[in-house]
Amino acid sequence: MPPAQARELHRLRFVTDPLYGEHLRGVAHPERPQRVEAVAAALLSRGLLERTIAARDATDEEIARVHTGAYVELVARETRRLKSPAYLSTGDAVVDASSDRVARRAAGGAVAAVEACVAGKEAVFALVRPPGHHAEPDRGMGFCLFNNVAIAARAYQAAGGGRVLVADFDYHHGNGTEAVAGNGLSYCSTHAYPAYPGTGARSYRRGDDLVANVPLPPGGTSTEAFVAAWETLLPIVAAAIRPSLLLVSAGFDYVAGDEVGDLGVGVHAAAPIAAAIRRVADEYCGGSVAYVLEGGYGIGALTESIAMIARAHDGRPQSSAAAQPDALPRSVRESIRTFSEIAKEAAK
């Protein structure tokens, strides 16, 4: 196969960095180095981890667009001299002496992914850790220190970019990302509710931006309903917001059997959801979309899901799938109807 053709068939590029394996190395914790190291090795063996993009550290200025100076200082102070792992004082995030450095590079990896996806008008996957969507401006929690997607969104806007939509399909609600929504950043999420962290019950407008939350029963949902929720949710929110950049908080702890989440959803859900994401990225963002890893604690489920996302972003044209609203439970249809009305108002 000639090189040009091979390139076209692997459109999804990756950001990763050896430093991502250092946070919590040797610590018994589900958010462990293998989540990026074993997954990267498996993707490499399938020929998917080609043309990787170098990560860099997020700058103080980039982090300060999302987090308070006092919190940034707290993370440095509470981690750098640690002799053994400990909880960050602000929430349930276990840290060690490497965590501040690794978290800065995770945020910088998300920024690098956005820069690359915008420059190449393509899809990029930031295979980073620690995750970010629970991190609020002044507190880390839920395994998260700095909010990677929020920092990347604000960096894009500071560089002259337009509106950003963050789509979050992690099992958990991204309380940290919702906390900073507004000023050109909209947020939509499916998540188990009630469940950790307890937020994400309702949808609303914040200025010209939207927060669209679709709570799902924590006891589980069918794969068809989960896919239908995304195939319905994403086009409605995107039509109201008309984002110039799509960012995805890509958490795979919704997959059945996940040790932390588990919504009972089949691993194959990633394929149609990524196809829906690609359609929105192509229609509104010139193809630019950056996925940033959040949760997901089964190595096999992570690998398979990301491989499906890579295939959804390969060079082949896609037929547009019709959403199947019949698959949606009544409570989900009601959440979607509510934010559709809010979205209509926002689009006026």
* Residue number with CB closer to Zn ion (64 or 260): 260
Burial class (CB in 10 A: 0-12, 13-18, 19+), 297: buried
H/E run at residue 87: strand 86-87
The β-bridge partners of 13 are 124
The 210-249 site mask, x for binding Zn ion (CB under 5 A), equals ----------------------------------------
The β-bridge partners of 197 are none
The catalytically annotated residue of 23, 67, 133, 134 is 134
Residues in region 115-174 near Zn ion by CB under 5 A: 170-172
SS3 44: helix
* Residue number with CB closer to Zn ion (243 or 295): 295
Residues in region 3-42 near Zn ion by CB under 5 A: none
Closest contact distance (angstroms) between CB of 177 and Zn ion is 12
Q: Tell me the backbone φ, ψ of residue 310, rounded to 5 degrees.
A: -60, -45
Closest contact distance (angstroms) between CB of 6 and Zn ion is 34
Q: How far is CA 281 from the centre of its chain?
A: 15
Closest contact distance (angstroms) between CB of 304 and Zn ion is 17
What is the Cα gyration radius of the chain? 18
* Residue number with CB closer to Zn ion (72 or 250): 250
Closest contact distance (angstroms) between CB of 305 and Zn ion is 13
Longest dimension (CA), the chain: 56
Stretch that binds Zn ion, among 54-62, 116-124, 253-261, 340-348 (CB under 5 A): 253-261
Cα–Cα distance list, 45 to 11, 30, 49, 342 (Å):
17, 24, 8, 46
Cα–Cα distance list, 260 to 130, 132, 142, 276 (Å):
15, 16, 11, 26
| Closest residue to Zn ion in the complex (CB) | 295
How many residues interact with Zn ion (rule CB under 5 A)?
Answer: 6
Does the annotation count 134 as an active-site position? yes
Closest contact distance (angstroms) between CB of 255 and Zn ion is 11
* Residue number with CB closer to Zn ion (215 or 295): 295
251 binds Zn ion per the rule CB under 5 A: yes
Q: Catalogue the active-site residues.
A: 134
* Site residues (vs Zn ion, CB under 5 A): 170-172, 251, 253, 295
